[in-house]
A and B are shown apart, each in its own frame.
Chain A
Amino acid sequence: MRLNRVVLVAAIGLALLGFRCADGFREDEMECENAMSYLAKCCPGFQSDQASCDYSDNSSACGTGVVVLPVLSVSESHCIEGESCDQLRSSEVCAHAQQLPYVPPSASAPQPVCP
């Protein structure tokens, strides 16, 4: 009986740890993923898997040791999402997005692609 409780507490602890190390639900990550999905729909030939929307931070127990931001900031993502597909193509946002690096070169400056 006591063993069962220990196993239960350990399972809950591991699950909670799993929560804390789960990723993908920061606002910048979610907005970046949605903007990438929109670009893939609007821009012919755009490959959304050529860039990363992951965030990692060495200050957390789950971090990888370096700070990496999503390739698009929240404001850039909002800007992309606010344009029509025609506008994205005509204003060369599609062309700029094709040249995005996999991760931003600077943690403080994600790539600007939207006018």
Chain B
Amino acid sequence: MNKSEPASSKPELTDSADADASEDDHELVRRSQAGDKAAFNELVTRYRQRIYAMAYQMTRNEQDAWDLAQDAFLRAWKSIHRFRGDSSFYTWIYRIVSNVTIDSIRKKQGRIETEFDDSLAGLQGIDVRARTVPGGTSSPDENIRQKEIGVRIQQAMEKLSAEHRAVLVMKEIEGLQYHEIAEAVGCEIGTVMSRLFYARKKMQAQLKDLYENF
């Protein structure tokens, strides 16, 4: 991983979280607005992992996450001249990737009925007659169990609307505050709390057998 890339475990939307980076960001944004692609490239390097992670958590698909992160940065470049610096660059790009991802999920949900698909879970590549032990420290049984759990979580997520999925990921995984989520998705705090209520209920109902034995 690139040395200048921030840790992706717990992204913060608050501007004070990464004050030094924000100051640098400000200069990079200014240069980007003047058409300096190298400066924008540096911003991409700084935030690509976080933006990719956000898209991945929402879609649970590496290829989709890659494409959505690309789209988000491309949209950011096109509209960088409109960025006024009222928030940090990360808050701004986070908002863009949220919207891009929500739009993408909406389109997909309108287009297909979700069905169980091995390819989504990465189970396709496993030969049932295989005798070789997969890499890693976990046992084969454990690996398969983890993948099955991943499939169950993915299926549960796919039954949520794009909006419910977004608030669930932002709250439960990204650890954002209500007002930060509201800012990112562009709605009232009350709406965020209401969406979170239903998203949690649906997820808990679908995964109860798994997390009760966890």
Do these two chains interact?
Answer: no
Binding site for B on A (CB under 8 A): none
Binding site for A on B (CB under 8 A): none
